[in-house]
Structure 1
Amino acid sequence: MNTDAVTQSQFVSLNGSAQPVLSRLSYLGGEPFAVNIAFRTDRGRWVEWTFSRDLLVTGLSEPAGIGDVRVRPDLAADESILILEIESPDGYALVEIEREDVERFVAATSEVVPFGAESDSFDIDAFIAEITSV
């Protein structure tokens, strides 16, 4: 792959709504430990969450996450669905995503930065400079 980014858009079910919501999974090689998921609001704005790529990978096969973001397969109802739960002081959302779409996205991220090679792609000095210049 000749890019350092992966983006995949899809429609998802949000909180069991019959009306699908446009979502966007994204990954940047310069931030190799994280993935982003964004949801388009009815006003055309995007609401974005960032969490661990490893959490997404683990959630494909078993429940993962103990914080604001949790991922798990929906083995009770439909094995083709992945459940993403997002919680904040402002609310809670349950997102149903096609498992195959997430598997394809994860595979594409590993072409950008192979699993286990994240540290090689992460500029720790730039990160420290960024957080200490606040």
Structure 2
Amino acid sequence: MHTEAVHQSQFVVLNESTTPVLSRLSFHAEEPFAATVAFRTERGRWIEWTFARDLLVEGLDEPAGLGDVRVRPDLSEDDDFLTLEIESPDGYASFELEREDIRTFLEASYELVPLGEESAHFDVDGLIEEISNV
């Protein structure tokens, strides 16, 4: 069976809490530039953020992101972790992600859409049609 998506679940630490939060990273070939991270709330709902897959790639080695999603290796006290920061008008959260989990997720996404070949998998005409039919 061939799939066009990669999903990876893991527990992450939110704002230095002692209680881990279930998270899920997702990548879909039909959206080759994007990755989505979702966090399960206490009420069983999922809160999702979509951002450039490149942020994860760059964030493995150096701070990446200028907007509401940032990935930084240098804020974590342990080299085995990355810090994912999310900011919105409603608040701020930081999560520690295992660096090896991010590498594994990215490698699986490269099998679907190799890095640098995103444009070949992106349906520009479909996006234009979707936007113009609003």
Superposition TM-score tier, normalisation by shorter sequence:
over 0.9
The residue type equivalent to 2:130 in the other structure is: E
State the match for 1:25 in structure 2: 25
Other-structure match for 2:6:
6
Aligned to 2:43: 43
Q: Which residue of 2 aligns with 1:133?
A: 133
> In the alignment, residue 93 of structure 1 is paired with which amino acid?
A
TM-score between the two structures when normalised by the length of structure 2: 0.96
Question: How far off its partner does 1:55 sit?
Answer: 1.1
User: Alpha-carbon deviations, 1:38-79, whole Å to 9, x = none?
Assistant: 000011100000000011100000000110000011466100
Amino acid of the structure 1 residue aligned with 2:3: T
Tell me the distance in 1 between the aligned counterparts of 2:116 and 2:130.
24
- Within 2, Cα distance between the matches of 1:76 and 1:28? 28
Cα RMSD for the two superposed structures: 1.2
**Gaps in structure 2 of 5+ consecutive residues:** none
Aligned positions of 1:1-134 closer than 5 A = 2-74=2-74, 77-134=77-134
Amino acid at match of 1:51: F
Gaps of 5+ in 1: none
Do the aligned partners of 1:74 and 1:81 also contact (CA within 8 Å) in 2? no
Runs of 4+ more than 3 Å apart = none
Native 8 Å contact 2:21 2:39 kept in 1: yes
Count of aligned residue pairs for this structure pair:
134
